[in-house]
Structure 1
Amino acid sequence: MLLELVNSTLEDVSQKQAIGVGALQGILDRNMESAVDWNSIERIEVMGIDEIALKKGHRDFVVVISAYVNGVLQVIGLLGERTKAAVAAFFRSIPKRLRRTVGVICSDLYQGFIGAAKAVFGKRVRICADRFHVAKLYREGFETLRKREWRHLRRTLSKADLKTFKNVHWLLRHRWADLNADERRILNHLFVRSPKLKEAYDACEALTAIYESRLSKGQGKRKLRGWMQRVTNRKLICFDRFLGTLNTHFEEITNYFVDRQTSGFVEGLNNKIKVLKRRCYGITNLTHLYQRVCLDLNGYARFGVET
């Protein structure tokens, strides 16, 4: 019966099994923990932290803290506040024997998460900023320049050129190596009319290449510093905000080069929770949400019948 909840709501299973919703919730309460059982965990090597919105319009944020436990991804905490104090309090609630086993914490660049991890774990734990969050930031800078250049070009281009460049923004989102000959010709045609856009595009390509190269942390630092200097020398002000982020979180960003750890598992879990939330038409009770997430992740392993 519990496994039916993996793909259904309480109300659906209640109608199918002719059991009251309250009774069904009682079964769930008796069989699923409402919080993590630290005694069942031997060590936590990699931890991830992110947030999702429980309601439409980015309201009622919930912090999702996950970890690989014995090779299995688990949710170890759902927090109703995304403040540094709330996250730090959760980290301190982890038993000391487990805190000593944490090696990496994957996070985005939200200062509350990073600050809490530093306050509790200090320098012993490597805080790794997700490369895809970093990529989003420098792509946002490039997109700002693209929009500004396009507004200018629309006033000066002929109708034929405007037709040629109609969907050029999609091409600019792809790497040069992934474009065919015709697409490259269109971009070259555009870059002749906007040299600054070409410089910014090349800068994005260069930064992506750094991330995809097999570099040590020291090599990664030197490459990033060189990139930052080139961008500054060329006065690509569209990256000014990103340069500020790089300077502020240089250690967390370059920690990626140690073992190329990303928050991919965190994002995958977030998507699973979002699907669960939509399937249940919203779950605002964090205890019930924790139970349902654990059931979705481990229900078949715990309650499935071997055939």
Structure 2
Amino acid sequence: MNPEQVQALEDLFEKVPRLGAIYNLRWEATKIFDSAPNRAEASRLLEDWIAQARETELDWEPIITTLKNNREGILAYFEERKSSGPVEGLNTKIRVVLRRSYGIQSLTTLWTRVLLDVNWAAKKLGPTIAEIRSFVNQIQKHFSRCYT
């Protein structure tokens, strides 16, 4: 941000302090995911973040509950720094294809639609899409043995 934007943001936070607290905690959470070197440090930093959130007296409990309920999965990110984002994206794309393909009776046609959409996504996602295509092909081979 340029200096004028920073000043405008600071002026806004003076008028709406709650918004400033939310903004700052949001960036603190981002820093944890960007800089925590390992699972143990991330765990400690997340606990500190939860304590800071509770001090604001804003209703952070839904977020804190989500963090606590999914603690192991969240901390697993810090072991290899990989997320399930690509898989979730593929799942969403397949759901969209299924909704658009209402009435298709051939499994081959359905898989062709999925592959066409995934191949188009390769232009946006880059080389990791090759792995997804391979996975989709393996699934197709498995299901082709089950259905005629």
Q: TM-score range by the shorter chain?
A: 0.5 to 0.7
Take 1:262 and 1:273, find their aligned partners in 2: how far apart are those partners? 19
Deviation at residue 270 of structure 1 after TM alignment: 4.5
1:227 aligns with 2:45: no
1:211 aligns with 2:33: yes
Deviation at residue 274 of structure 1 after TM alignment: 6.8
| Structure of higher RCO (CA pairs closer than 8 Å, 6+ residues apart) | 1
**Correspondence for 1:283:** 101
Structure 2: gaps of 5 or more residues? 120-132, 138-148
Deviation at residue 195 of structure 1 after TM alignment: 1.4
Take 1:272 and 1:207, find their aligned partners in 2: how far apart are those partners? 29
Indicate which of 242, 248, 254 corresponds to 2:75.
254
Indicate which of 17, 32, 43 corresponds to 1:195.
17
User: Which structure has the highest helix share of the two?
Assistant: 2
Take 2:56 and 2:115, find their aligned partners in 1: how far apart are those partners? 51
**Correspondence for 2:125:** none
Structure with greater Cα Rg: 1
TM-score (norm 1): 0.34
Structure 1: gaps of 5 or more residues? 1-178, 303-307
Which string of whole-angstrom CA distances, capped at 9 and with x for unpartnered residues, describes residues 9-66 of structure 1?
Answer: xxxxxxxxxxxxxxxxxxxxxxxxxxxxxxxxxxxxxxxxxxxxxxxxxxxxxxxxxx
Residues matched between the structures, number = 118
**Correspondence for 2:144:** none
User: Which structure has the highest strand share of the two?
Assistant: 1
Indicate which of 34, 53, 61 corresponds to 1:240.
61
Deviation at residue 264 of structure 1 after TM alignment: 2.9
Deviation at residue 252 of structure 1 after TM alignment: 1.1
Take 2:9 and 2:95, find their aligned partners in 1: how far apart are those partners? 37
Helix, strand or coil: the match of 1:215?
A: coil
Helix, strand or coil: the match of 2:100?
A: coil
Deviation at residue 203 of structure 1 after TM alignment: 0.6
**Correspondence for 1:89:** none
**Correspondence for 1:76:** none
Take 2:3 and 2:94, find their aligned partners in 1: how far apart are those partners? 41
**Correspondence for 1:185:** 7
1:226 maps to amino acid = D
Compute the RMSD of aligned alpha carbons: 2.9
Take 1:227 and 1:245, find their aligned partners in 2: how far apart are those partners? 14
Deviation at residue 263 of structure 1 after TM alignment: 2.2
Which string of whole-angstrom CA distances, capped at 9 and with x for unpartnered residues, describes residues 200-258 of structure 1?
Answer: 11111100010111421111101001100111122121x22101111111111111111
**Correspondence for 2:85:** 264
Same amino acid, percent of matched pairs: 30
Which string of whole-angstrom CA distances, capped at 9 and with x for unpartnered residues, describes residues 153-192 of structure 1?
Answer: xxxxxxxxxxxxxxxxxxxxxxxxxx22111111111111
Summarize the Cα distance change of 1:186–1:249 in structure 2 as closer, same or farther, 3 Å threshold.
Answer: same
Which string of whole-angstrom CA distances, capped at 9 and with x for unpartnered residues, describes residues 100-150 of structure 1?
Answer: xxxxxxxxxxxxxxxxxxxxxxxxxxxxxxxxxxxxxxxxxxxxxxxxxxx
TM-score (norm 2): 0.66
Helix, strand or coil: the match of 2:43?
A: helix
Take 2:50 and 2:35, find their aligned partners in 1: how far apart are those partners? 17
Take 2:73 and 2:47, find their aligned partners in 1: how far apart are those partners? 14
Summarize the Cα distance change of 1:193–1:242 in structure 2 as closer, same or farther, 3 Å threshold.
Answer: same
Take 2:93 and 2:72, find their aligned partners in 1: how far apart are those partners? 30
